Amino acid sequence: MGNICYCGKPKKEDRPACPRCFELYREERKRKKEKPSLIAWVKMKALERLEELGASQEDPRTILERDLEEKRKELQALEAVLPEEVSLTLREQLAGAGRLRQDEVEALREDIRAELWKQKGGNRLYAQVKDLQREVKEKIIPIRETLQEIEKTEREHSSVDQLLASVLHPKEESK
């Protein structure tokens, strides 16, 4: 089940929750009449956490994931337009300069590219993308991995339950 709990804290890989969340589960179980299984409780809490982070039925992505996608598109747009602008600027600056060596042209091209990248906020955008990627990795991915593992466990238990039902009650199925 991964080594990060849905809450973001470290946990043992074979457990659905960290010790802190397990204690929360125990406390909640004591207070309530309904006593869900640990897996059901973790699933409920993980889904609640995704909702808190902006996920919904209409759009299962969190605010962080939407922001990351938007910043990636901005960065890709900048990277797509930059070569053309570099070429135009290079032609303007080299107009009437005569013949230059290829290494001189490439060095100037790289200088222009770096200058335009900086002017257009490339460093800022790149840093924002990296920060959002880190946040998604730390906050969202553990929740999604936990939910995937729970779904896998539920499917496995469903198959076992069906097998047991067919073995224990074979006459009921034939009706």
31's tokens: 């207070």
Radius of gyration of the chain (CA): 27
Taking the C-alpha atoms of residue 156 and residue 115, their distance in angstroms, rounded to an integer, is 57
CA 23 from centroid of its chain's CA atoms: 27
Given 3-state DSSP classes, what are the helix, strand and coil percentages for the chain, each rounded to the nearest 5?
Answer: 75, 0, 25
- Whole-angstrom Cα distance, residue 110 to residue 107? 5
Distance, C-alpha 10 to centroid of its chain = 18
The residue extents of the domains of the chain are 1-52, 61-146
Quick one: pLDDT at residue 164? Answer: 61
Residue bearing the bigger pLDDT, 99 or 19: 19
Over residues 141-162, the mean pLDDT reads 84
| The pLDDT of residue 175 | 47
SS3 state at 133: helix
Calpha distance 163→135 (Å, rounded):
42
Q: Are 108 and 93 in contact (CB under 8 A)?
A: yes
The token pair at 61 is 């992505």
Band (pLDDT 50/70/90 cuts) for residue 94 is confident
